[in-house]
Amino acid sequence: MNRLGRSFIARFILYLVMLVSIMLTAVAGTIAACNIDYNWYSDRSDAVEDEIYSEVAEYVGSILYDYAYYSEGDEEIDNAQTLIYGEDRAENFGYGLYRAVDAEAAAANGETPEKVKWEPVKEINIGLGKEEGIHHETIQHDGYVKIEVYLGDMEKGGVPNEVGYLYDLYKFIYANRNVAAVTAALAALASFALFVILICAAGRDKEKESVTARLPLDVIVAIAALLLTIIVTTVAYSGSGITVINYIELTMIICALALVVAVIVTGTILIFAVQLKAGGWWRHMLLYKVGALVVKGLAVLFGVFRHIDLVWKTGLTVFAGIFINFIIMIIAMTGAASVAMTMWLVGAVVTAAAVIYTALCMKRLEEGGRHLAEGDMGYKTDTKGLFLDFKDHANDLNDIGRGMANAVEERLKSERFKTELITNVSHDIKTPITSMINYVDLLKREEIDNEKAREYIEVLERQSQRLKKLTEDLVEASKAATGNVTLDLMPCDVAVMMNQAMGEYREKAEAAGLDMIMDLPAESVSIMADGRSMWRVLDNLMNNICKYSQPGTRVYQSLEIEDGKAVMIYRNTSKYALNISEEELTERFVRGDSSRHTEGSGLGLSIAKNLVELQGGRFEIYIDGDLFKTIIRFDII
């Protein structure tokens, strides 16, 4: 195959052989098709003979009918006039051409053809009809033209040349029916095989760089289609006269048609094969080049349009719509209402599509913004199908989400690091603190006469206990912040817990000069909570109230029911200026006494908030001047 692909002469010879095979297929196939059409492969020979005579007689009748109805003027056909060449010398051929007497009147009266009187127009050798063995055919046209055809033994001759040619043609077709079928099949297989070989051999070596590989395939296909259309049209209009000529000439015509069609079709396919093997065949197409120029031009316009401000884009689009509607109005005023209506309808469809597309894009962007607002930082706005500013805005939303997610991740990482650090340090400090407390206790049991030494021991005891409390708070704050707390939720009476907490701190509150006021509802209010954790929350709140409230002031504790929730409210007046925000007070190591003159770790409110939220509640702080208010909300069961 490689050697064949490199030899142009060898491929040209194969191509010629293929064309010959195609022509042979066309000729043999035509003969076989005629036999199939007339059912001559299955009919007996005597039936075929009768059918051939009938076909010849029909042909003679069509010629005579044309003379009868398509002769110029109203002149009658002269009996001496020759209608079929050689009819006057034909011994085995005769006919009679008859026309109805007053055909128009007969048609008007509704007379049937059987009752119509016939007058002879021309008669040739009609006495032949009285002889034996003569084929007689009666042909009527429109009921008012009658033709009688008489055919003797046409094998002996004695018929017009035109009739004899047609008879010989039919005889030839019938006589070669089997040979034609076999020949058509073998020639078709040979043509197909040669064509496949030529396709495989095409497009090798230098042909990939040849002019053939760069021809515009769409132009070639269009030219081929045009030529085939012309050929088919020509054959269709001139096909009625082909059957009356010599079958040798008919064979030549069929071969010529097959050759032209084969050259057009196979040439186009082989050119495509060459271009297909060369690669990138579509780049040489005229439509592709024109399309590439159009796309390039649109890309330039799109690039310019893309960098225009959105307001200007909208203005230009509106101006274009107004201008198009103005053109439609002018067209309508000129009288071309249908054209204007069509243009308006197309414009309306385009406008509606643009509006719907814009609405869908805005909905997608709105969806992305809503997810970000709800804290779904992992949500990505789909940019597929978005263009221009819509796609830019979607990318901006995705970048915002990505940036926020990174910031939150960094914040969480920092919080986890601080929590782990606090937990680890607290555990490391706990052991030496326990040793210090034990040794201080041992020192207290010793009989020490030095007053100063006893004072120092008391300071050591007080500070070591404070350090122990700070360490315990650190561990608890770390557990509460990370959720590493075991909760046993069960129904709890809120009023009972608040009363118990106030009772525990009543003496401490009186010592601090505080007046405790409790306001509880008459009915029982229960919530789902962990008793231990809730006690720690209330303990931290009451401890802060006693420690940081202004002496001589009132402390209000109330329990309210709002929208199915139990609301615990604590109000007190701070002895220190509250110059920090509510959020800062719930951070770890933050105290209302920013000067740190008092004892405390700054972890109480942070622990309380985390424990409340772990139990499904809500912890809020409000500051109004020196007024400090804490609100805890839980769902009522």
Q: Report the half-sphere exposure of 304 (CA within 13 A, side-chain side).
A: 6
Using DSSP's 3-state secondary structure scheme, residue 598 falls into coil
Residue 438's nearest CA partner among 449, 428, 426, 430 is 430
- CB–CB of 247/169 below 8 Å? yes
- CB–CB of 572/621 below 8 Å? no
Whole-angstrom distance, CA of residue 86 vs CA of residue 165 = 13
* Confidence at residue 589, expressed as pLDDT on a 0 to 100 scale: 44
Classify residue 464 as left (phi > 0), alpha (psi -120 to 50) or beta.
Answer: alpha
| Residue at 116: amino acid letter | V
Q: Which pair of structure tokens corresponds to residue 271?
A: 């050119």
Determine which helix (DSSP H) or strand (DSSP E) holds 443, and give its type and residue range.
Answer: helix 388-445
Contacts of 41 (CB under 8 A, 6+ apart): 35, 177
Whole-angstrom distance, CA of residue 519 vs CA of residue 40 = 118
* Confidence at residue 107, expressed as pLDDT on a 0 to 100 scale: 55
Contacts of 140 (CB under 8 A, 6+ apart): 113, 146, 147
- Residues forming a β-bridge with 562: 565
* CA-to-CA separations, 173 to 26, 32, 138, in angstroms, rounded: 14, 8, 25
- CB–CB of 113/144 below 8 Å? yes
Whole-angstrom distance, CA of residue 256 vs CA of residue 271 = 22
**Residue that has been written with the tokens 């809500």 in this structure:** 618
Whole-angstrom distance, CA of residue 157 vs CA of residue 61 = 20
CA 5 to chain centre: 43
Contacts of 367 (CB under 8 A, 6+ apart): 381
User: Is the model's pTM score more than 0.75?
Assistant: no
Whole-angstrom distance, CA of residue 122 vs CA of residue 148 = 11
- CB–CB of 560/628 below 8 Å? no
Whole-angstrom distance, CA of residue 425 vs CA of residue 614 = 24
Residue 69's nearest CA partner among 146, 138, 124, 126 is 146
Contacts of 200 (CB under 8 A, 6+ apart): 1, 5
Whole-angstrom distance, CA of residue 242 vs CA of residue 162 = 12
Residue 524's nearest CA partner among 491, 569, 500, 557 is 491
Using DSSP's 3-state secondary structure scheme, residue 394 falls into helix
| Residue at 159: amino acid letter | V
Taking each helix axis from N to C end, the angle separating 494-511 and 531-548, rounded to the nearest 10 degrees, works out to 30
Using DSSP's 3-state secondary structure scheme, residue 395 falls into helix
**Low-confidence residues in the chain, pLDDT < 70:** 1-7, 69-80, 102-116, 141-143, 203-209, 238-247, 304-308, 418-423, 426-427, 469-485, 581-602
Output DSSP code: residue 358: H
Using DSSP's 3-state secondary structure scheme, residue 623 falls into strand
Q: Which pair of structure tokens corresponds to residue 114?
A: 């059987």
Question: Greatest CA separation found in the chain?
Answer: 176
CA-CA-CA-CA torsion sign (25, 28, 34, 35) = negative
Query: According to DSSP H, which parts of 549-626 are helical?
Result: 582-585, 604-614
* Confidence at residue 614, expressed as pLDDT on a 0 to 100 scale: 84
Phi, psi at 406, each rounded to 5°: -65, -40
Q: Strand 145-151 and strand 554-562: pairing?
A: unpaired
Whole-angstrom distance, CA of residue 533 vs CA of residue 615 = 9
CA 626 to chain centre: 65
CA angle 285, 291, 296 (to 5 degrees): 130
Q: Using H for helix, E for strand and C for coil, what is the string for 36-100?
A: HHCCCCCCCHHHHHHHHHHHHHHHHHHHHHHHHHHCCCCCCCCCCCCCCCCHHHCCCEEEEEEEE
CA 205 to chain centre: 41
pLDDT in tens, 46-97: 899 999 999 899 988 888 887 776 554 445 566 667 888 888 888 889 998 8
Contacts of 451 (CB under 8 A, 6+ apart): none
Contacts 24+ apart (CB under 8 A), 8-15: 11/198, 11/201, 11/202, 14/194, 14/197, 14/198, 14/201, 15/194, 15/198, 15/266
